[in-house]
Structure 1
Amino acid sequence: MELSGTAKAQFLSVNMAFGFAVTAGAYICAGVSGAHLNPAVSLSMFLLQKMSGRLMLVYCLAQFLGSFVGASLVFALYFDALHAYSGGNWTVYGPQATAGIFASYPSEHLSVINGLSDQVIATSALMICILAIIDEDNNAAPRGLQPFVIGLVVLLVGLSMGFNCGYPINPARDLAPRIFTSFAGWGLEVFRAGDNWWWVPVLGPMIGGVIGTFLYEILIGIHHSADQQDEDEDEDKEENGGRRHPPEYELVQSSA
């Protein structure tokens, strides 16, 4: 959108591209990794004890490397367009600025504190929706449709919360391309811009992911087990002529 103004792209189409890119990525790798594309999501899965700390770190590293490679591919694909638009002068701000193609930068009205709260709120909303979509005890989407629905959630977050800074909501998607641009000609200004903005889309989504996970578990998740236990007790009572059956315990063998 920056290279062509609004001639070939608009806010809606850009957000649709982001949303359906997430859908495509999730469909491709869902069977191998569970479609972990975002360190904030991986951290949340670790907190929910659905993955080990070591695996979380491996996934996060892969996400950062993938984002770095993706940024380099975008740079190579649109190099001629970038050069024609900016005259080869890679800048972060100004009429021919192009750094915003790769990473997020705050709007002129946005303070660092407001930007941090923006990322916390947006990523919290994203995480709550993801947990609801994959929660089998809730009204989960069919497994084959989950990547599509999650892509729609990303689109929704972008359309509703993308005004301030472009809704990075993913530390890997923002920091790795920023590092790439610092090497590719934009220099260290990519870190100094916006009152040293670079850390906001890294820390904010991680905090937001944790908060979103906590809220979902407190408001929704912990109630599943209680409801299921009540249902099991009612069924057990009916099967035993109105008498409650003592609980049965299963010996579980564990290995270190």
Structure 2
Amino acid sequence: GQIWPIAGPSVLSSAGAHMNAAISFISCVLGRLPWKKLPAYIAGQFLGSFLAAATVYTAGNLTVSGPTGTAGIFATYPAPYMSLLGGFINELICTAMLVLCVLAIYDKNNNAALEGTQALLTGLLVVVLGMTMGMNTGYAINPSRDLPPRLFTAIAGWGLEVFR
């Protein structure tokens, strides 16, 4: 299958490596990546993110939220005014917008962005998503970037409160 040569943040690298589970999943849905490869891609993404969280961990204050909360260093959490369901819906919409726009930016069969501008446009897309929806939840827009570090914090001492 064809893989988009993206150099934008949290999406794909210039070598075609997927960095976002949502992009990997949609690649399978569209037939651009074989379904049999999806578990390996997601396992690699999750392992890398988990190890990255472990690499920057230092013992100290293990508070999830509030003025002294430190769990937000590793994963994103909804703003105090957001409910858990509201945060989930916010992330779902934001991630869907990311995927839809990335597909449009790299679709050579449908007026794709000018060659060489894709990385810039993808970066601007992430900035715009952050500016418009990021205050609500921190705009993880990448299951591979949020869930594994959250698992790490649960194991490292913050406890199950990281999932609430």
Task: State the TM-score, normalizing by the size of structure 2.
Answer: 0.86
Show the counterpart of 2:74: 102
Q: Secondary structure at the match of 1:94?
A: coil
- The residue type paired with residue 60 of structure 1 is I
Q: Which has the higher contact order (CA 8 A, sep 6+)?
A: 2
Structure 1 counterpart of 2:50: 68
Partner of residue 150 from structure 1, selected from 101, 111, 122: 122
Q: CA RMSD in A?
A: 2.1
Q: 1:169 to 1:91 in 2, by over 3 A?
A: same
- Higher helix proportion, which one? 1
Equivalent residue for 2:62, pick from 90, 113, 121: 90
Match of 1:167 in 2: 139
Structure 2: 5+ residue stretches without partners: 1-6
Q: Distance in 2 between matches of 1:68 and 1:144?
A: 32
TM-score, with length taken from structure 1: 0.57
Gaps of 5+ in 1: 1-19, 194-256
Q: Deviations over 1:135-194 (max 9, x none)?
A: 001222345442332122111111111011111111111110011112222122212x3x
Distance 2:25 2:61 in 1: 38
What is the alpha-carbon distance in structure 2 between the residues aligned to residue 21 and residue 72 of structure 1? 24
Structure 2 equivalent of residue 190 of structure 1? 162
Larger radius of gyration: 1
| Residue among 114, 121, 130 paired with 2:93 | 121
Identical positions, percent: 46
Q: Distance in 1 between matches of 2:110 and 2:47?
A: 34
Q: How many aligned positions are there?
A: 158
Residue 21 of structure 1 and its aligned partner are, at CA, apart by 7.6
In the TM superposition, 1:194-209 aligns within 5 A as none
Which of 6, 18, 34 lines up with 1:36 in the alignment? 18
The CA distance in 1 between the partners of 2:134 and 2:32, in whole Å, is 30
